[in-house]
Every structure is written in C-alpha cells, then in structure tokens.
Amino acid sequence: MAHSTKNEGEDRSVGRYRRLMLDVRRVRSELDVLKAGLARKGVDPRELDRLAEIDGRHRRLAEQRDTLRAQVKQVSKEVGRLRQAGDLEGVEARMAWSRQVGERERALAVQADEAGAELRDLLLRIPNVPAEDAPDGAGEDDNVVVRHAGPDPEAYAEHQRVPHWEVGAALGILDLERGAKVSGSMFPLFRGAGARLLRALTSWALERHADAFEEVRPPSLVRTAAMVASGQLPKFADEAYHLERDDLWAIPTAEVPLTSVAAGEILAEAELPMRLTAATPCFRREAGAAGRDTRGLIRVHEFDKVEILAYATPDQAPALLGELLERAEALVVELGLAYRVLDICTGDLGQSHARSFDIEVYAPGSGLWLEVSSVSWFSDYQARRADIRYRRRGDGKVEHVHTLNGSALAWPRIWAALVETGRQPDGTVAVPGALAPWFAGATTIGSAL
C-alpha cells in the first residue's frame, strides 16, 4: 500500500474527536440536520443537545487553559529578563503570580480533560446517521422485502420438514451433546461429512470472491482499538469475549480486523476501491438470546464465516453496496436455497450502519427464515474511528474513506438450511452441485464419501 501515516492537514484542536465517529464539527454547524437524521433511528434529539453542550464546555475550558498556559510561558520569559537585570524583588513577584496562575491552569486542565472524556464517550455511543434512501420504520417488522426467490414455505415435502439437529444427529454429522461437553451449550461440534460441508462452503465462497477480492487471513484476536473502530465497542461489550489478561478480544466477525487493516493510514485514491475477503471463526456471547432460537445452529457462540469488505471513496460506495449484495445473493442462488432480501429500515439499522440489506434463507425443518448475510454501508463512520483516509487524485485533499462489508456467507444457518432443504425421502442429504468438488464425487451425505 502506498500511504502515509502522518496526520496531514489536521486541525489538531479538534482532531482527536473528529477521528472518532460523527464529525464533531457537524454538531457545531449542522445540529438540526443531525437531529433530524438520527431521529429516524430513534435517537432522542436531547442527546444531540447534550453533545453540543459538552462540546461547547470542553472548548471553553480548553481555551481558558491554553490562555493561562500561554500567560505562564510569557511570565517565565519575563522572569528570565528580570533575573538578568538583577531585579530580585520583581522576580519573586512574577514567580508568585505564575504559581497562582499555574494552579488555576492545572485545575482547568483537569476540568477540560474530564469534559473531553465525557465528549468522547458520548460520541462513541451516538449512532451513524442513516442514508437518505433507507426506508423509515420503527423496528424489524418495518423492514421491506425487496426480493423473494424459491419455493414458498408451504411447498416443501414432509421429508424436508425435519429440523437439522435431528437430521445431523441421525447421520452422525452434528454432535451438539459432545460440543456442549467440551465447551458448553451453543458450541456445536461437526463430524465427518458435516465438518466437510463447512470446509467446502468456505473454500467455495473464497474462490467465488477471488476474481476481485484480496484474500486475507487476519488474527482472530484484536486490540480494543479495532473493536472500537468497527463500532463493536462500547455498545456490544457484553456480547463479546474479552481476554482480560492480554486485553485482547475474540473477533465477533472478520469485519473487525479487516476494518482496521488500514487504520491510521492515508491511502492513494488510485488504491480505491480496496476489496478484501477473509474466512475466520467468529465468537459471540449472544447475550439475551437464552430461550430464544437456541436449538441447533440457529444461535451459536462460535461459527465460521466468509466476509467481504471494501474501502471506497464516497462516490464509489453506492455501486459497491450493490456489488457486495449481488455477490452474497449469488451464493445463496447457487446453493439452491429459497431466500428473500430485506431492505433494513432506520429503526432496525445497527449503530454504525447508514444503509443495510439482509439476506434470509428459509429452513423448512425449523420453519424459520434465517438471516445468513447482512450487507452494509457505513459511510465514513467507521473510518473516522479508525482514522482511515485517502488523498484525492485531483486536488490532493485528504478525507475519510467509506467502508462497506457483507457476510458472504455465515455458515451455521446455511448449513442448517442446506441439510433441511436437501433432505431426501431416504434420510440422506443432497450435496449442492456447487460443492461437489469437495465431496469426492459423492452426491449425498449419508452415502460413503
């Protein structure tokens, strides 16, 4: 990568906060616009008023601190001149004054730091502004189904209406009991052809993205800064696995390390869009999910997923959002699963998201639509937190990139839908043609492999 890590052209008086999430300058100049945008996500406008008040207080305290600091510095020079002139009485008077002002300056510095910490914490918690074309809505019931393909739920045969945990146990390819013995509930253990199915899905998906995406194998443990950059912290701390001894976090998605690959860098516009893909394990506590959709593979604490992610200019971002969605959707089509695409409404958008589409597949044995991919555009929200910028080709101006990502795909629910949809009358499971190269010519799971 051709880049510079220097914070060029930065207004250092506000730079620390400009790089975190919302541009704090917009709070000062476009407060009503931000209020209107964030109200679509259900954010109380008073939170923005509070943000503006804290920002104003922080700036006033910092200005007063800096004024006193400059005065103390000037007096230090005067003391030097008075000492050279032999005016010891003048030296003592100016030093006494300097001590008094220094105490006030230190008190103001503490207050400014406290206001700055309060400002930073609130900025980290204020969500991204939704895109103008995101549909309005209060919650998931208001998401818009934009496409549906494949059989209707009523069209499946009886032999397909067996839940995957029963199919998996009967074929010896899913051992939830032993997974729980090793690690606890919601940690599945795949065996034989079940494990091979996961490996096949991963290899197949990575090959499908190899035409345009650089494959990356990032670390599965990341620093706190990477979790903050992607928007996982502080909001989702309770759902993450934290290794306190090393202050590292188990990644909930490859989006986290991939977002921070270029953290603190300035990219050349010619490098954009930069497309990355990764297959990684993902770890989530699924806090609050107890008793809801916890059977089988519908909600698990560890799973494998292939991620696609891009850095882009603002002008490139809309087309890339369409490209990422098209790639994720094409995978589901190739697997022969019934699916639908949802346009996520403002009330159901994630904290970092400006625009999102979900892909759900139908699992006839579980009788559920299961989300297997979320394709999202974050505008410059994550890039500000990670300080990822690019230098424009024409005028050399430096600005933040836009980030986009998508699951392509997450495997536990795909595994479940494939096993249920592909179940044959004799109890075996048909192997999708796309995965045949990884099954040594076998066409079913349950026959000799």
> Any idea which residue has 């696995």 for tokens?
241
202 and 304 Cβ atoms separated by less than 8 Å: yes
Torsion of CA 383, 314, 4, 252, to 10 degrees: 30
The amino acid occupying position 71 is: Q
First-to-last C-alpha distance (Å) of the chain: 44
User: What's the CA gap between 206 and 242, in Å, rounded?
Assistant: 28
d(CA 329, CA 308): 13
Strands of 274-283's sheet in order across: 144-149, 339-343, 355-363, 368-377, 402-410, 302-312, 274-283, 214-215
Overall size of the chain counted in residues: 449
Q: Report which secondary-structure segment, H or E, holds 323.
A: helix 317-334
Rg (C-alpha) for the chain, rounded Å, is 27
Question: Which of the residues are catalytic?
Answer: 284, 299, 371, 374, 413
DSSP characters for 37-88? HHHTTT--HHHHHHHHHHHHHHHHHHHHHHHHHHHHHHHHHHHHHHHHTT-H
User: Three-class SS string for 257-320?
Assistant: HHHCCCCCCEEEHHHCCEEEEEEEEEECCCCCCCCCCCCCCCCCCEEEEEEEEEEECCCCHHHH
| Three-class SS state of 1 | coil
Task: Classify residue 169 as exposed, middle or buried by CB count within 10 Å of its CB (0-12, 13-18, 19+).
Answer: middle
